[in-house]
Structure 1
Amino acid sequence: MTLLIETRELAVAAADSIVQPTSIRVRAGVPFTILGETGSGKTLLAQAIAGTLPDGLVARGEILIAGRPVQDLAVHERRALWGREIAILPQEPWLALDPTARSIDQVAEVYEVVRRRPADGARDDAVEAMRSLRLEGAGRKLPSELSGGMAQRVALAASRAGGARIMLADEPTKGLDAALRDGAIDLLREAMGSEGGLLTITHDISVPRRLGGEVAIMLAGRIIEQGPVEDVLQRPRHDYTRRLVAADPANWIRRIVPERFGDPVIEARGLAKFRGGRLLFSGLSLTIARGEIVGVVGPSGSGKSSLGDLVLGLIRPDAGSVRRDPRIAPLRFQKLYQDPPAAFAPQLTIRRALADLVARHRLDATRISDLMRRLRLSDGLLDRPPGAISGGELQRFALLRVLLLKPAFLFADEPTSRLDLITQQEMIELIVESAREEGCAVLLVSHDRDLIDKTADRVLALEGSWMDRDAVA
């Protein structure tokens, strides 16, 4: 069977070794998934293979793409492979998409430039590609107008458009609901076919389970076990792999709902919201009390994030009203953003960002070290800018920053979408603890119904029935 990607003792290093010497083989027609926690080095390994390592990091060892050694190629020669030989689906769609171009134009451009399709044909191909990913209505939108799940699917459509034989997908299902997640996985496998190669980087255990093929478990820069998916995940040998499987929300114990909660913090009546001329929801009423956790589920683009922004006052309703307890300072109404890169100043180190927050609001700085310990964040990350740490680590710092403010209301928008199962469980425990012990009201949005069912006291389901009404272009 044809080898499409092979690494031999591939390592990534800066001052110290970050990824230990690693050897993997990706064969045609056999999906290969690297599964591990945030910060384990799996994305750096993929970047070394693709030739996209950040400045200051060096890859050592051998990398072969379709049998061709590529580790010593000049930068322009490596880049010539992108889109043509190896397609890259990056972890952060907001950073991958052009913020000034409409979605349909970004996908069509790949067909036109890489595949040399005429403009009309390229646009037709782009419309069909986006329709296959249920992106009806998204074509005319800028990336900033898309939900996180929609932006991820637009990036997937663009990355597939070049027709490369090998796909390297970094967290391709992040932020997608179960139906869209399974659809995206199926599309990746379909695009691979019997002759293509697929290397997927993920923290989501459902990805290798649905893809099949082979899986490698990565921990602290080292692959600790690998083999056929059914062997590794059904009969794990390593203790970490066993913990990973056990941390799946489907295996959690349902939390006991308290007999009573405190006074209402949020009272919403008859809410309606349109976006892009389409109705997201109407006649929606919601009360959230101190110490209560309300879960929100629904398809990507159904208005989950818009509902949270409405009750926070970040956007206005088209009908209805929201009352926030006037006795509570506005600062204590907080949002944990779905995409943490958009919530941090890119030029500031994490240490400086936290120090500025503490100084501005006269917070207790001694809580930082305790929260870092509980979130398994190392001190060495503090002196890096946001772009130099993983998305999962940045999301944990976002929670730390919010908890420093001792919120009375927290809108947690997909707070674990970048986290491995073990870290996800730890983060949810902190959010629940804040609700129960500090009396924080929580509106928790997630695409994972198991997580919501096991965590929330009440569940609100948004249907998103408008999603398929309009054409893409």
Structure 2
Amino acid sequence: MTLLKADDITVAQGGTPILHPVSLHLEPGEPLVILGETGSGKSLLAQAIMGTLPRDLAARGRVVLGDHLLDAARPEGFRPLWGRQIAVLPQEPWLSLDPLMRAGRQVTEAHHLVRGLGTQDARAQAATDLDRLGLAHADTRYPHELSGGMAQRVAIAAARAGGAGIVIADEPTKGLDAARRDEVADLLLAELARGGGLLVITHDLALARRIGGRMIVLRAGRVVETGPTAAVMAVPTQAYTRDLIAADPENWPARSRRPAGAPVLTATRLAAGRGGVRLFSDLSFDLSAGRILGVTGPSGCGKSTLGDVVLGLAPPAAGRVNRSAGLAPTAFQKLYQDPVAAFPRHRTLGRTLADVAHRHGQPRDRIDTLLPRLGLNPVLLTRTPGGVSGGELQRLALLRLLLVRPRFIFADEPTSRLDPITQKQVIDLLRDTAAAEGCAIMLVSHDPELVARTADHVLSLAPAKTGGDLSGQAVKRAGGLG
């Protein structure tokens, strides 16, 4: 029996189509992968099927969900089915988690109120869920105390807790390292093995391969290619699909090293922790103008904390950071892992960017120059942050940062929401910024191939061999980061 059938789903804004007719079906035990570049309409398709589109967007088409026949133009009909028959794993965990509720309680509440478990059983099941995702220690933490990858896993546990037979996973592994990515994929597939339905929306080629099943490739709101996932990935028939696969970081050329400029910052024997847990210690490195330092390590190992310490946003537990004299505080900038938390929600993106350009003495046409370099449509500037995709917002965050003309950038997972083609565009722009403007960059990524082909040097943060301590592997200053 087909679990879900969607016929001729379209989405329009003000009468202008942005998702052209898409039809799909979901069968018990067979996953469906929707693959495509950022802004291709993947998330819009999921929102139309769930009845959760923003108010300024209109859907048409028919959705058959079990015994329910639903009109995509009437989203109110979907609400009684949320959580119980169909659930979505959200792309932005910061928007789905209650900032005033601890992680364990959020999962417990879903088991209790949606699935209907008793209080004690709900607590026990929530603890089991978090433990399976490597989050047993995060039970009492608030969302702001979690790394981006940890917050994503809590959101996954909460979304699954209602017992829905069909799960739509919208970029469920962005921000996660390879090991955690595979764990989440295996968890989703384990639920599928019990006869459920799974629709995965992603630009992550490795995740698509691991999920398997069938695939639909989208581009600019249109279906480009369909077929078994393994066949599409191995022998794509369309040029766009071939380009998407070829843009994977493992196929990039290595970055040519350039002469180093003057030192921008020096870190000496840094140590830091969160929640009473030491994340790293005895880290020493220096970074010069024009150089890129890659920072890698598993989720929760302290990569974002290191950035906060380097930028002076958090004090170190030990050690010191010396920044180049004569540079204004605004010369040191952070590109946030979760840009949705960094933009005013109720102002248009164009107004926010114009204000930043004016504040830093940049001409308005610099925005117009950067938009095409980041693959962004100017129409996005008329929208609020909630009206663009996560990948588009991440690139807009980079655009906003470049308006400041920084001398140092801590780029915290700047491409975690981007498809391979757009990811390469963004990394190329960061490379050009380092080379042309002498900007020093610390680039955080879970992707070792991306870091290896982008950075001049690499700093690895890894779990310690004993206890619960996490200690960074220091890059030797003799190695010449400067």
Supply the distance in 2 between the matched residues of 1:123 and 1:194 (Cα, whole angstroms).
23
Supply the distance in 2 between the matched residues of 1:440 and 1:251 (Cα, whole angstroms).
26
Note if 1:66 corresponds to 2:66. yes
> Matched residue of 1:114: which SS?
helix
Aligned length: 468
Identical-residue share of aligned pairs (%) = 52
Cα displacement string for residues 152-193 of structure 1 (whole angstroms, at most 9, x for unaligned residues): 000001111111110011010010001001110110111111
Note if 1:3 corresponds to 2:2. yes
> Structure 2 matches for 1:134-213, cutoff 5 A?
134-213=134-213
Supply the distance in 2 between the matched residues of 1:102 and 1:83 (Cα, whole angstroms).
20
Q: CA deviation at 1:73?
A: 9.3
Q: CA deviation at 1:233?
A: 1.1
Residue in structure 2 matched with residue 247 of structure 1 by the alignment: 247
Cα displacement string for residues 374-393 of structure 1 (whole angstroms, at most 9, x for unaligned residues): 11111111111111111111
Supply the distance in 1 between the matched residues of 2:74 and 2:427 (Cα, whole angstroms).
45
Cα displacement string for residues 98-127 of structure 1 (whole angstroms, at most 9, x for unaligned residues): 111000000011111122211111111100
> Matched residue of 2:61: which SS?
strand
Contact kept? 1:301, 1:467, Cα under 8 Å: no
Supply the distance in 2 between the matched residues of 1:194 and 1:10 (Cα, whole angstroms).
28
> Matched residue of 2:38: which SS?
coil
Q: CA deviation at 1:194?
A: 4.6
Residue in structure 1 matched with residue 43 of structure 2 by the alignment: 43
Residue in structure 2 matched with residue 306 of structure 1 by the alignment: 305
Residue in structure 2 matched with residue 374 of structure 1 by the alignment: 373
Cα displacement string for residues 273-305 of structure 1 (whole angstroms, at most 9, x for unaligned residues): 020000001111111111110000001000001
> Matched residue of 2:123: which SS?
helix
Supply the distance in 1 between the matched residues of 2:149 and 2:172 (Cα, whole angstroms).
10
Given residue 277 of structure 1, which amino acid in structure 2 is its aligned partner? G
> Structure 2 matches for 1:206-221, cutoff 5 A?
206-221=206-221
Q: 1:467 to 1:49 in 2, by over 3 A?
A: farther
Residue in structure 2 matched with residue 269 of structure 1 by the alignment: 268
Q: CA deviation at 1:421?
A: 0.6
Given residue 140 of structure 2, which amino acid in structure 1 is its aligned partner? R
Q: 1:339 to 1:72 in 2, by over 3 A?
A: closer
> Matched residue of 2:462: which SS?
coil
Q: CA deviation at 1:257?
A: 2.2
My pick for the range that moved more, 416-425 or 112-121, is 112-121
> Matched residue of 1:309: which SS?
helix
Supply the distance in 1 between the matched residues of 2:188 and 2:224 (Cα, whole angstroms).
26
Q: TM-score, normalised by structure 1?
A: 0.96
> Structure 2 matches for 1:346-385, cutoff 5 A?
346-385=345-384
Cα displacement string for residues 223-280 of structure 1 (whole angstroms, at most 9, x for unaligned residues): 111110111111111111010000001111122223x301110101111102000000
Supply the distance in 2 between the matched residues of 1:198 and 1:407 (Cα, whole angstroms).
43
Cα displacement string for residues 327-356 of structure 1 (whole angstroms, at most 9, x for unaligned residues): 212111111110011111111111111111
Q: CA deviation at 1:468?
A: 8.5
Supply the distance in 2 between the matched residues of 1:117 and 1:236 (Cα, whole angstroms).
46
Q: 1:285 to 1:34 in 2, by over 3 A?
A: same
Residue in structure 2 matched with residue 462 of structure 1 by the alignment: 461
> Matched residue of 2:81: which SS?
coil
Contact kept? 2:215, 2:232, Cα under 8 Å: yes
Q: CA deviation at 1:469?
A: 4.3
Q: 1:386 to 1:244 in 2, by over 3 A?
A: same
Residue in structure 2 matched with residue 132 of structure 1 by the alignment: 132
Given residue 50 of structure 2, which amino acid in structure 1 is its aligned partner? A
> Matched residue of 1:418: which SS?
coil
My pick for the range that moved more, 110-119 or 435-444, is 110-119
> Matched residue of 1:225: which SS?
strand
Q: CA deviation at 1:401?
A: 1.1
Deviation >3 Å, runs of 4+: 72-77, 464-470
Residue in structure 2 matched with residue 319 of structure 1 by the alignment: 318
Q: CA RMSD in A?
A: 1.6
Structure 2: which 5+ runs fail to align? 470-482
Contact kept? 2:40, 2:221, Cα under 8 Å: yes
Q: TM-score, normalised by structure 2?
A: 0.95
> Matched residue of 1:12: which SS?
strand
Q: 1:467 to 1:118 in 2, by over 3 A?
A: farther
Given residue 168 of structure 1, which amino acid in structure 2 is its aligned partner? I
